[in-house]
Amino acid sequence: MQQRSLIWLTALVLAALGVLIGLGVWQLKRLAWKEGLIAQIEARIDSDPISLKEAERLAREGTDPSYYRVTVEGRLLHDKELYLYALSEGKPGWHVITPLEATTGEIVLIDRGFVPDERKDPSSRSQGQIEGLTKVTGILRLPDKQALFTPDNEPSANRWFWRDLDAMSGALFPEGTVMVAPFFLEADASPVPGGWPKGGQTRLEIPNVHLQYAITWFLLAAALLIIYAVFVFGRYRRRTPLA
């Protein structure tokens, strides 16, 4: 009976070892993927900007164009500003999202950057409401997906908590006759008259803790193996008569 229980214990330990080692290997694969993603982002951020048409072509072809720098020239439609709730350095405020009508005819939504709550009203930052043709360089970002604890957007009140491109486009152009680029551009930190909105808000720090996780799983596997060995050795010694 004792021999049978040891066999079952050994089987359970082997199964647990398989799971722990598998999790460690999976984290190593995730590490390689994450390092590749970070390298890709760095390469795109450091490269010369591409045109809006090139960005649209990449998106149409199914290529993820995220983090490419894009330069577009056109006219900002300030009367159609949208406000996305955000925190900057712990201070609540809003990202100002403004459609830009490019000289080539396309519409693209520009996240111009952050304003504190007291600067939400455009009249409080009139210098930053650039008129006429302007050139914007920004980092391309795809629309968000609503996270589990993210509030619902409130289009009727122009309060947004996540970037729902379809809903935003519909709120701006309800007749549906205007084609909007399938992404946002987050404006860089180029100076803006009056200082607001403050661009350069793109978060480029991507957490990469997969190596730590992998080491943790492998250490747990090693600890389990040591505990099992100590247990079996102790049990064997108790059953072996002294000479």
Does the pLDDT value for residue 239 go beyond 70? Answer: no
Does the pLDDT value for residue 1 go beyond 50? Answer: no
The tens digit of pLDDT for each residue in 138-192 reads: 999 999 999 999 999 999 999 999 999 999 999 999 876 788 999 999 999 999 9
Q: What was the pLDDT predicted at 150?
A: 95
Q: What was the pLDDT predicted at 103?
A: 94
CA dihedral for 111, 201, 153, 55, sign (positive or negative): positive
Q: Model's pTM, two decimal places?
A: 0.83
| Widest pairwise Cα distance in the chain | 100
Helices (H) and strands (E) in the chain, counts: 4, 7
- CB-based contacts of 116, cutoff 8 Å, min separation 6: 88, 91, 92, 93
Does the pLDDT value for residue 242 go beyond 60? Answer: no
The tens digit of pLDDT for each residue in 11-70 reads: 999 999 999 999 999 999 999 999 999 999 999 999 999 999 999 999 989 889 999 999
Percent above pLDDT 70 for the chain: 96
- CB-based contacts of 14, cutoff 8 Å, min separation 6: none
202 Cα distance to chain centroid: 10
How many angstroms separate the CA atoms of 226 and 223, rounded?
5
Q: What was the pLDDT predicted at 51?
A: 95
Tokens of 128: 């930053």
The tens digit of pLDDT for each residue in 82-131 reads: 999 999 888 999 999 999 999 988 999 999 999 999 999 999 999 999 99
Domain locations in the chain?
A: 2-38+210-239, 49-195
In the block, tokens 């009140």 appear at 157
Does the pLDDT value for residue 135 go beyond 80? Answer: yes
The tens digit of pLDDT for each residue in 218-237 reads: 999 999 999 999 988 887 77
